[in-house]
Structure formats: C-alpha cells, structure tokens
Chains A and B, each alone.
Chain A
C-alpha cells in the first residue's frame, strides 16, 4: 500500500536571524497524502515551505527527491512540484487570462478554453479580461488558485492558501485538496484555518519536533 516517498527530509535544521527555527526535523511526503504544517506565527512554516520548494538555501540536513539527493536532479524536482506562496505571482497590469497563460507557459501550456474553464471554476467567470489590479485581494488569489485546477505536478506546496478566500471558497479548496489526494497527489499546506481531512499528516513547528 505504501508507495515510495516523493520528498524526504532528514535532520533538517534552519537558523534565521540567529534564532533556531527547527532542528532534527525529519518527515517524508508520500503520494496520496495531505500534510499540514502547524505552528504559531514566526515558527518557520513559510521558511520550511520555501526550503522545500527550493527557494531558500539557508538550511542544513538532507532533502531527498524520489530517494536521491535533490541537488542531483533539481530540474526533475522543479518540473514535478508546484509552489504557491504568500505573494500570488499575479501581475496587476495583466488580465487573469494573461496571467494564467504566462504562469502555465513554462510548465504545461494548455488551450485558452481550459484556462477559461479553470477561471470559471474559481468563480472568476466574466473577469477574464479585467486587469487584475481592478480585482479584490481574494479574487487575485483565486487567479493563482486557478492553477490548481489545471496543474499536473505530483507535489503541491501551498503556503496559506485560504488567505482572503470566502467561506464557500474555502470549502471548495478543501474539496479540491481532498480530491487531489485521492487521485494520488501529495499536498503540503500551511494554514491557520482549521483543516481536518482524514489521514492527514501533521508537522508541528515551534517545539522543534515532527509529529507523524
């Protein structure tokens, strides 16, 4: 039943501004699981996600991608992982359509109808050609979230996906994550929202230990 872990962290340690955020942190992320990183503000959730995404190099320990050190095959890692951060990656001057097209172009280009469908799926139907700066903060995040409806990457790293999203949207994202996990995707989220999905793995930060 257990499949090979996609991403494995061994004795991860990170120090930031001369403060130890976490040490001896070990966990593995298996396809078909949802992992939630928990901890109070400033406990290093975002830092951990940036490290896992490959944005930050300020760590020691070992990160294995499909059983091999990630540094050996960064290209395959980048191709197979999707990171959504605090900043949505949306250009305010471009329309949702253009933004989504540009974001997908380097990963898996899809037809415009698929993009429009994804935008409609996040409740942005009718806004396809409005510049994003005219949209609300929540709508801008929804543009970024529309990627999740098209993305094929087996590993998703989502930082605070529920920020600025209304209650109905939160439910929809929960359902999407649930469905993704059932399809065999691996999802790692940080959130303060009380997310409860069956079989959820938790990583607790702030005390410095991982709890599986």
Chain B
C-alpha cells in the first residue's frame, strides 16, 4: 500500500539509560493513512529485533512485502482507512535510524563506539518522534516480540502517551534462556574474523558468516518443533542440478532444514548489519520492566511499573511459542490486574511458534481489530 517515508532529526540530544547521551539522532519512519485534524487517530506499530519501519510497504533492499501487511492496511485489522499508522526504525538498527553504522561526530562510523542502548532508550527515541509530530496520545501502541516490549515500556514509562497497549508474543523481561540464545548469536558474530572488533564498515568484507550463524540459531527459536517437523521432517534436499537428495556422507546441506537455515542466514546478511544485531540483542537482554522500577534498593515489582497506567491493555500469547511462552504473558496480566489496569489476555492456538504473530492466525486478526476498535 502507499506509504510515506520520512526522517525525523531529534532537536535535542537523546539521554540514554547508560548515563551517556546520543547527539544528532535521526529516526527513519513510514506512515500510512491520514492523520486526523486533532491527531487523535495515530497508532504506533513497533517492530521486532530484525524488523524495520516497512510494516506495510515493500522492503527497499529485498523488495519483499511489508512484514505485517496481513495486519496493517485499508480494511485490515489495523485499518489505515481509520488510523494513521506510524512505524519507525528503532535506534541502534540499520534501516535509516541512528545506529552503529551511522557516522559519529568525527565523520567515521560509530561501530563499537556506539553506546549500548536499552529498549527504554529506543522508546525514548520514539516518544521524541511523537513529540516532534505533535501527537500527544496515541490511539494505540502495538507490537509483537521486541515490538511488544517497546509497547510495554511506553506504557510503563510514559503512561499518558497511549490509550491502548497491544503486546503480542512478548515478555516483561528476558529470561536466562532468552539471553543464552542471544549470546550464541553475538559470539558467532564476534568470532568471525571479518568482524574486526566491529570496525568492518571501511573494509572490503563484513562478518556475514557470523551474522548468518546468529540468524540461524535465532530462527530456530522463532519456530515450533511441530512446525519444523511438519515443514521439513527429516526430508533430504534435492541438489541444485536436479539430482534427488541423498546423504552425501559429507557436510553439505543434506537435510531440507539445513538448506532452509542456510538460506535464511545468508539472506539476512544482505539486509542487516552485524553490529546492529549485537546492540539490539543486548538491549533485549537488558530488558526487565520490574527491575527498571526498583526503588530504594528494593527489588522492583512489575505491578509497580504499571501503577500509573491509564491505558487499556491487551496481551496475546501463542501456545506453540517457547521463546516467550504464555507464562510470561500471564505474569504480566497478573501484574496489570494487581495494578488495577483494564487488561485482556488470550492464549491463541497456532502451530508456528513465536513467529505466529506474523503469520496466518485469523483469531489474532479478530482480537487485534476488536481491541483497537472497541
């Protein structure tokens, strides 16, 4: 669908949770649908780890359709005939917003000189964008996975900025298992000799092998075992020359699942920056809303984080998602109940694992539409 691309230059330095600040920040974003005169119909869609602002328009690098075209568009659950949809690339990413490949004040890319950021820092950038656009309160903030973390972070830290909060397949904090998988990915990147401590922007080569392995490992966590078995099982991969797949007694991609993962990994390196992957996974690992709201040396309680919440909340989990399982959403629901916030929660049945939020799950469409319009 038709989208408008924009770059917003932050008028002031962006303070960061680390205590540092970032100057000259730019945020790249897409908009869809008309903004009402009173600016009351804006919906902010937040993207996941490797997502971007192209939620419902073709990706400029891959040419593929927007990552949530099935959800966002005219007459779709996030209806651009009714709502003005904004989707911005988070800071630290690589699709036009300021990140490690952006140029620092000295004219060279930041690379690993880029400050470590948090999910709250990303959201602080988004709030600065909303300020710039003159949007005081969103009709809704919506996101899945890391997008859901941003939606929750906005609700906890800027409680008057969104009337509705829709967080799908997400969590209030990264678990040891979540951190572990991310660390595998980061180590794969940093073990690639082409990474060169992150200073690869000026050279001929980039750490594609490491980034591809990181993506392969992460991709497994986005799928369910049932889904993998159904899609690939132990089936063998036919050769490019057309010969039937067979065990080669070597280390080619004999199995279809190997071939698929390699394809996913190499495709990813064409559109994503390895250092951005390091920074964004780090931000997700640091994510813990309760901890952010710890006071006076006491352990933070999740309910306290949402004590001032004014919004209506809707949480959705999927029964086959083992990355951010239903228990994580329930944990959030209990905290929101304790805080007295109006909250809906449903665990939907879908076979696709964590990626279910991006795929064909008609029940999700109905929930999203009902929640946004209700």
Interaction A to B: no
Residues of B within 8 A of A (CB): none
Residues of A within 8 A of B (CB): none
